[in-house]
Amino acid sequence: MFLVLVGVAFNVLIGYGPAGLVVAVVVAGAMAFTSYWKSDTIALAMSRAQPADEQTYARLHNLVEGLCIASGLPKPRLYVIADPAPNAFATGRNPNHAAIAVTTGLLETMNRVELEGVLAHELSHIKNYDILVGTLAVTMVGAAALLADVGIRALWFGGGRRGGGNSASGPIVLLALVLIAIAPIAAKALQLAVSRRRESLADMSAVEMTRYPPGLISALEKLRANPAVVQSANRATAHMWIEEPVPHRDDTRSASKWTHLFDTHPPLEERIAALREL
């Protein structure tokens, strides 16, 4: 529905008719599909992840194998990122084409039950098809941003409403312009809200998988206490990590809900508190 409104506003501004709208949406969709199909390759390359040798990282492989047997999931490919900051992420388009990457800092920081909790969280993302959900959200953001960019550029350079065939009145054009201007921001906020929701769901699913809430709770507490930030992380991949890979801020004195509107994750304090209630 949101994209339909943005599409209508786009058409009001440039007057190219349905053909222009279809072309813009198809281009945005093609870009999103390509990113989705190659999501694991792109994410792993951007993070400088290397395959985890089964002998060197035997504990990692054993924990993942045990969790996969218990949850009925195929074993994902495992990777290690040489970085002292403790963190991890899952990627891949479905459970049969998935991968989990962990930092060396995570392996060194976490004990067995804590590491199991983190890995269960990442396997939950795979099991819950969070990559697919995230891709749909990214598609919406990409389409909205593309329509907004084309619409504003066409209007700015005098290319909008060609041929005089568009009879929309001034107030309608103004409303369309406002909608086009705020569309990328609104779409991004919605995408991040979905990301935060999926993170909370993955926490709960991880506890169901391990049947031991203290393991993940202790892991999240260690992540909260560690100020290190993954050097290879960036805004494009921030939503994938178990903890938002940005410098920490004091979440316990939260001013308002607007403070976290553009966060990719719920505050660690909220996630820990929710797990303690189980």
For this structure, is 277 an active site residue?
no
Find out whether 28 and 216 touch, Cβ atoms under 8 Å: no
Pairing of the two strands 88-94 and 97-103: antiparallel
**140 token code pair:** 């919406």
Separation of CA 204 from chain center: 18
Which phi and psi angles does 215 have, rounded to 5°? -65, -50
Q: Please state the φ and ψ torsions of residue 122, each to the nearest 5 degrees.
A: -70, -40
* Token pair 């792993």: residue: 44
Q: Which residue has the tokens 């899952």?
A: 90
Report CA-CA distances (Å) from 43 to 28, 163, 223. Answer: 20, 45, 21
Active-site hit among 122, 199, 243, 244: 122
CA distances from 73 to 66, 77, 94, 126, 179 (A): 10, 12, 11, 9, 43
Cα 206 to its chain centre, rounded Å, is 18
Q: Residue by residue, what is the 3-state secondary structure of 97-159?
A: EEEEEEEHHHHHHCCHHHHHHHHHHHHHHHHCCHHHHHHHHHHHHHHHHHHHHHHHHHHHCCC
Interatomic CA distance for residues 200 and 266, integer angstroms: 7
CB contact set of 20 (below 8 Å; sequence gap of 6+): 10, 11, 14
- Residues identified as active-site: 122
